[in-house]
Amino acid sequence: MTRDPLTVVIAAFNEAESLPLLQPRIAAALDALPGVDGRVLYVDDGSSDATWAVLQRLAAADPRVALLRLSRNFGKEAALTAGLDQVEQGAALILDADGQDPPELIGQFVAKWHEGFDDVHGTRMEREGEGWLKRSTAHAFYRVIGWLSKTPIPADTGDFRLLSPRALAGLRQLRERHRFMKGLFGWVGFNRVAIPYHREPRVAGGSKFNFWRLWNLALEGITSFSTAPLRLATYTGLLTALVAFVFGVWVVLKALLWGDPVAGYPTMMAVILFLGGVQLIALGLIGEYLGRLYEESKQRPLYLVDAWQPAAGVSSAQD
Ligand code: UDP
Ligand code: MG
């Protein structure tokens, strides 16, 4: 029986405490799948703690484990891209390093893959260990982006997913610098299915995403997958101009018909300040898109590799 290759890809940034707890769970999950040739690929996203040393220990203990270290911290999206780029054969399954995406579900993902699905994604039913503020803002974000974006982006779905070889090949062709992975997965398409799961709290350490990073990720998502904000600026401009016109006519008529003295300063200040604000917002919006265009036009690589250590026990595609 041929065994389908499956690589579990994990981006890790300062996860020295969680990785030793996670690896046995992944290994056990892979052992339980006789039809699958399981491999594990850890991407050290420029960690400043003992992550790399811990990973080397894990790789020495398990011949299925391959390691990749980036030259610095490039962020989760780039680290995942680096990992997925290294997958030569078969499907890839993306997992968080902190145990929030339970490896015990790998079997369910693989079953769906074998049924013929290309993009099997975990949809969170609950998010334990995360405050209501994070949960409610995340909830709102998925609704807004779902409404704005023409590309389907499933709600409450993170990066916990399995990509079939052809979905993976499709994703690899998207080389944009501003990588909003959830949207890129959606863009690829093919047969998709959701697996509901309970999102557990982290096994160790703290979240690497503070509110500022999440806010920027949200902006990234919206500007990468929608130009609706630009259109909003156009409509705001049109509406303001219309209101200004009606108001102007009314001021003139009032002066002509009733000889009302024109009340100057307060109205003028209000209008000038309001219009100034609207114009600055519109300019800022254009700037957001222009800045992204600028960064895209530089065509820099998405990441640089510091070290690559193939799995000891897996023959590569070339030999
Ligand atoms: N991560 C990464 N690079 C970063 C930040 C995070 O590779 O710059 C990894 C991190 O190690 C973890 C995953 O991305 O495996 C999710 O991070 P985290 O758990 O901190 O995010 P949260 O679950 O709180 O949204
Ligand atoms: Mg987490």
Give pLDDT tens digits for 231-252. Answer: 888 888 788 878 877 887 887 7
208 Cβ inside 6 Å of ligand 1: yes
15 Cβ inside 6 Å of ligand 1: yes
How many Å lie between the centroid of ligand 1 and the Cα of residue 1? 37
Amino acid at 13: F
Beta bridge partners of 37: 5
123 Cβ inside 6 Å of ligand 1: no
Please choose from 26, 68, 76 the residue to mutate so as to test ligand 1's pocket, defined by most ligand atoms within 8 A of CB.
76
How many Å lie between the centroid of ligand 2 and the Cα of residue 306? 25
Ligand nearest to the CA of 100: 2
How many Å lie between the centroid of ligand 2 and the Cα of residue 308? 25
153 Cβ inside 6 Å of ligand 1: no
Residue pLDDT, tens place only, 4-20 = 899 999 999 998 888 99
- Interface pTM (ipTM) of the complex? 0.91
44 Cβ inside 6 Å of ligand 1: no
Residue pLDDT, tens place only, 292-309 = 888 888 888 989 999 898
Q: What is the 3-state secondary structure (H, E, C) of the chain?
A: CCCEEEEEEEEECCCCCCHHHHHHHHHHHHHCCCCEEEEEEEEECCCCCCHHHHHHHHHHHCCCEEEEEECCCCCHHHHHHHHHHHCCCCEEEEEECCCCCCHHHHHHHHHHHHCCCCEEEEEEEEECCCCHHHHHHHHHHHHHHHHHCCCCCCCCEEEEEEECHHHHHHHHCCCCCCCCHHHHHHHHCCCEEEEEEEECCCCCCCCCCCHHHHHHHHHHHHHHHCCHHHHHHHHHHHHHHHHHHHHHHHHHHHHHHHCCCCCCHHHHHHHHHHHHHHHHHHHHHHHHHHHHHHHHHCCCCCCCEEEEECCCCCCCCCC
Mean residue pLDDT across the chain: 84
Residue pLDDT, tens place only, 53-107 = 999 999 989 899 999 999 999 988 899 999 999 998 889 999 998 888 889 999 9
How many Å lie between the centroid of ligand 1 and the Cα of residue 3? 31
Residue pLDDT, tens place only, 171-201 = 999 888 887 887 888 888 888 888 888 877 7
Task: Work out the percent of the chain whose per-residue pLDDT is above 70.
Answer: 94
How many Å lie between the centroid of ligand 2 and the Cα of residue 159? 11
**Which one, of 75, 39, 77, 219, lies nearest residue 158 by Cα?**
77
83 Cβ inside 6 Å of ligand 1: no
| Beta carbons within 8 Å of 282's beta carbon, 6+ residues apart | 233, 236, 237
Q: Counting atoms of ligand 1 from 1, which one is nearest the CA of 206?
A: 20
Ligand nearest to the CA of 202: 2
Please choose from 19, 96, 101, 213 the residue to mutate so as to test ligand 1's pocket, defined by most ligand atoms within 8 A of CB.
96
